[in-house]
């Protein structure tokens, strides 16, 4: 392919000049020189590399640096590192070269941005490891995350040049990890663009339709906004308040998401746009001017009392401050009105990036970097940015929890990304912010690890409540502790915060380790009693006999009494060796490992009925497979195959709630799949069950049905009479095997006495 090198050279210079214009915070001669040096280094390093589109690779680092400068407003260090972010990974440049030319801070940031190389653990997504490494640098420099998001944004903007399967993987990954991260860090514009671009490739038809409708209704919206704001403008002018008013449509993704979750049409999404009022006022008068403006708006338009959101008195954990209200317009439409100061708007648009600038005197990214940790903390608190730093502190806590598996870590981290918040109080009146759905147990672990570990109960507003009861804003929580208490396995079901979950798991692992040591000692004593050696061969024979995978698990079972050595028979002991009469039974190989009961019960095999077959892989073959009950695919659905750890193939719908995660984390294990016909097999069944009424029983039953077994519930009712619990539920199953597996699982729930299939009425 021929390239016009002279034209490309001119284009590179044009883009570089555009970057310099965007770098408004880098005006000093030394700063401009650093940017020029970084540009020259990147240009030379990438000179022989081209992007998938055929364009020179240098376009990408320039674009990332421009996003960092223009859309995030960061300074020289960030721009330099953005220009260099791919050099160490893809070219001859080393971290030592970066430090020699620019300094240790630049080396740290570029190192955080450099993808991990080498061999990853089996079943682990390389991108998950990259993401974890990026977060690990939080303790060093938060600019790593900001540049990484800018890098992902440019990749999404140029995604049309990638193969369709790569587009699906990258779009899924973006929705799964990067958009929620941008949301949590308050980078709302970037978050919305990442979501919209992901939707463009994941659901192209829906994206095109919603975009077309937004363009079509643009003129109508503009006329409506102009009419709506006339009386507000007049009153604000009379009050002497300086302001800007603008109308902003909701993003394509947020409209699509609301259409999906609320099951409504485009016309029924009433808040397609919001009106934003930005006040030019000093920090001392922000609050009073915003409430004065709210009073003016509600003088003309009736507010919806259930839709008032005061994030001025209680800012979000990511530092977001604004007052939102929804009012009724004269035409009978609900309109969201957002009121905030210019400072709050900058924080809202640029989130952590603005916080990074505001948190040091003079607002300079570079001067802030020179402050000591204590000075930096004081500056942050003085500027009101301690909310973000408190959240970053929680993330560091999770990182220090030592979660070995990168994917488990990402799941834990992701728990807190999109959550709304509740505001609760300690008995002394201290305010604690927790994610929506948090329980007293989350609260206890937020206070202190020891308080959480020893928690035996909680009082909410002076009333005893279960540890699993969700808290609501305004609750006052008192934790009751006991030195004899220790974390339990079922606590993992009661918490929603990643830090609490991490601490419980750590405590359980530590307890299991202690029990395994006790079990190992018991086994050694048993061997000594029989007069045989505690050799690897004898232990291996025990593993095969009891069908366990590791000595650790064998020791744990012995300690907990699941294997009673005094009752073991069928062996002979002589010459220091243990021989089993029937011979040790072989362990199942890793490839043939049986799925856990909950997983095995949650999938049902496809019956090879007439016309109900799947063609899998590029060769469109009929291979053994099973259907994933998380989405219950039926003939006619758009599906894909997923190769499991055991080597089997699970079939998922493309719209499966887990599809984004699977495509993002394990794209290399995804296979094509098409139905050969469109026959379907789904049945609704009613079941009844009884038991002894107890706290958490209803939760346990519904959790088995919807979470463990992944069965859809069409109707459900529960009733308690004199301590006896009765319930009815209508579920969708594929066949009698599926139904029997569900019944067996329900019968195993503690407190449930009977479960039976009910005769269909009518």
Backbone angle region of 547, left / alpha / beta, with phi > 0 → left and psi within -120 to 50 → alpha: left
Based on C-alpha coordinates, what's the Rg of the chain?
30
To the query of whether residue 756 is one of the catalytic residues in this protein, the response is no
Give the closest residue to 18 by CA, choosing from 65, 80, 86, 81. 65
Burial group, residue 402, by CB count within 10 angstroms (0-12, 13-18, 19+)? exposed
Helix axes 5-22, 29-45, angle to 10 degrees: 150
Question: Cα–Cα distance between 111 and 716 in angstroms, integer?
Answer: 54
Question: Cα–Cα distance between 256 and 206 in angstroms, integer?
Answer: 8
CA torsion sign for 568, 574, 580, 584 is positive
Which is the catalytic residue, given 8, 70, 90, 599?
90
The two structure tokens encoding residue 449:
């690890």
Q: In which residue are the tokens 């107890």 written?
A: 694
Give the closest residue to 335 by CA, choosing from 298, 384, 280, 290. 298
Which is the catalytic residue, given 89, 140, 608, 638?
89
The two structure tokens encoding residue 165:
């399967």
CA angle 277, 282, 285 (to 5 degrees): 80
Residues in the chain: 762
Strands (E) across 262-381 are located at: 273-279, 302-303, 309-310, 323-328, 334-341
Give the closest residue to 538 by CA, choosing from 495, 568, 501. 568
Question: Cα–Cα distance between 17 and 22 in angstroms, integer?
Answer: 9
* DSSP summary character for residue 59: H
**Mode of pairing for the β-strands spanning 752-757 and 712-721:** unpaired
Question: Cα–Cα distance between 439 and 436 in angstroms, integer?
Answer: 9
Strands (E) across 516-629 are located at: 571-574, 577-580, 603-605, 614-616, 626-628
Burial group, residue 73, by CB count within 10 angstroms (0-12, 13-18, 19+)? buried
The tally of CA atoms less than 13 A away on the side-chain side of residue 486 is 10
The two structure tokens encoding residue 364:
């300079």
The tally of CA atoms less than 13 A away on the side-chain side of residue 622 is 9
Measured between alpha carbons, how far is residue 322 from residues 183, 340, 624 in Å?
15, 5, 55
Cβ pair 433, 446 in contact under 8 A = no
Cβ pair 275, 323 in contact under 8 A = no
To the query of whether residue 89 is one of the catalytic residues in this protein, the response is yes
Catalytic residues: 89-90
């Amino acid at each position: 392919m021929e390239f016009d090198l002279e034209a490309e050279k001119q284009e590179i210079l044009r883009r570089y000049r555009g970057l310099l214009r965007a770098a408004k915070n880098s005006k000093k001669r030394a700063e401009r020189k650093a940017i020029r040096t970084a540009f020259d280094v990147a240009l030379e390093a990438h000179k022989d590399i081209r992007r998938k589109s055929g364009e020179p690779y240098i376009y990408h680092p320039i674009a990332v640096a421009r996003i960092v400068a223009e859309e995030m407003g960061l300074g020289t260090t960030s721009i330099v590192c953005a220009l260099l972010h791919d050099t160490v990974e893809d070219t001859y440049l080393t971290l030592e070269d970066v430090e020699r030319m620019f300094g240790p801070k630049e080396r740290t940031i570029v190192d955080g941005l450099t993808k991990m190389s080498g061999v990853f653990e089996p079943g682990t997504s390389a991108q998950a490891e990259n993401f974890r490494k990026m977060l690990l640098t939080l303790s060093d420099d938060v600019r790593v995350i900001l540049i990484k998001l800018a890098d992902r944004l440019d990749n999404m903007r140029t995604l049309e040049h990638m193969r369709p399967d790569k587009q699906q993987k990258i779009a899924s990954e973006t929705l799964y990890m990067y958009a929620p991260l941008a949301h949590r860090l308050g980078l709302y514009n970037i978050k919305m663009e990442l979501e919209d671009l992901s939707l463009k490739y994941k659901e192209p038809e829906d994206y095109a339709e919603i975009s077309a409708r937004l363009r079509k209704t643009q003129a109508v919206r503009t006329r409506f906004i102009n009419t709506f704001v006339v009386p507000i403008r007049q009153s604000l002018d009379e009050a002497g308040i300086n302001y800007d008013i603008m109308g902003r449509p909701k993003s394509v993704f947020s409209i699509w998401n609301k259409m999906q979750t609320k099951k409504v049409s485009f016309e029924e999404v009433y808040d397609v746009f919001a009106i934003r009022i930005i006040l030019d006022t000093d920090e001392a008068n922000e609050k009073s001017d915003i409430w004065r403006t709210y009073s003016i708006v509600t003088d003309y338009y009736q507010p919806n009392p259930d839709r008032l959101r005061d994030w001025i008195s209680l800012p979000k954990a990511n530092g977001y401050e604004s007052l939102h209200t929804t009012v009724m317009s004269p035409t009978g439409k609900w309109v969201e009105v957002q009121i905030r100061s210019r400072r709050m708007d900058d924080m809202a648009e640029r989130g952590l990036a603005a916080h990074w600038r505001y948190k040091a005197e003079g607002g300079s990214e570079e001067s802030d970097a020179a402050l000591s940790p204590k000075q930096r903390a004081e500056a942050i608190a003085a500027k009101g940015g301690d909310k973000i730093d408190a959240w970053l502190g929680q993330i560091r806590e999770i990182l220090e929890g030592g979660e070995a598996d990168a994917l488990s870590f990402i799941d834990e981290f992701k728990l807190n990304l999109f959550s709304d918040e509740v505001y609760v109080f300690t008995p002394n009146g201290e305010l604690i912010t927790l994610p929506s759905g948090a329980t007293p147990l989350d609260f206890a672990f937020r206070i202190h690890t020891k308080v959480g570990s020893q928690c035996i109960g909680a009082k909410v507003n002076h009333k005893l409540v279960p540890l699993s009861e969700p808290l609501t804003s305004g609750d006052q929580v008192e934790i009751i502790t006991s030195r004899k208490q220790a974390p339990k396995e079922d606590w993992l079901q009661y918490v929603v915060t990643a830090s609490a979950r991490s601490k419980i798991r750590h405590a359980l692992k530590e307890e299991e380790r202690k029990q395994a040591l006790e079990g190992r000692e018991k086994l050694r004593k048993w061997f000594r009693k029989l007069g045989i050696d505690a050799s690897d061969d004898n232990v291996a024979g025990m593993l095969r006999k009891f069908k366990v995978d590791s000595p650790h698990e064998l020791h744990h079972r012995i300690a907990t009494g699941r294997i009673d050595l005094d009752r073991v028979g069928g062996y002979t002991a002589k010459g220091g060796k243990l021989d089993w009469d029937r011979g040790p039974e072989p362990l199942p190989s890793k490839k043939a490992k049986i799925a856990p009961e909950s997983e095995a019960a949650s999938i049902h095999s496809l019956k090879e009925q007439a016309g109900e077959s799947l063609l899998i892989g590029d060769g469109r073959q009929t291979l053994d497979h099973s259907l994933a009950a998380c989405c219950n695919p039926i003939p006619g659905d758009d599906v894909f195959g997923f190769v499991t750890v055991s080597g089997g193939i699970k079939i998922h719908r493309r719209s499966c709630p887990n599809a984004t995660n699977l495509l993002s984390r394990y794209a290399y294990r995804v296979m094509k799949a098409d139905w050969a016909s469109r026959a379907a097999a789904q049945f609704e069944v009613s079941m009844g069950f009884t038991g002894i009424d107890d706290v958490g029983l209803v939760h346990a039953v519904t959790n088995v049905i919807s979470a463990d077994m992944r069965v859809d519930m069409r109707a459900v009712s529960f009733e308690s009479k004199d301590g006896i619990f009765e319930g009815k539920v209508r579920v969708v199953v594929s066949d009698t095997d599926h139904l029997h597996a569900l019944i067996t699982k329900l019968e195993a729930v503690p407190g449930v006495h009977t479960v039976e299939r009910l005769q269909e009425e009518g």
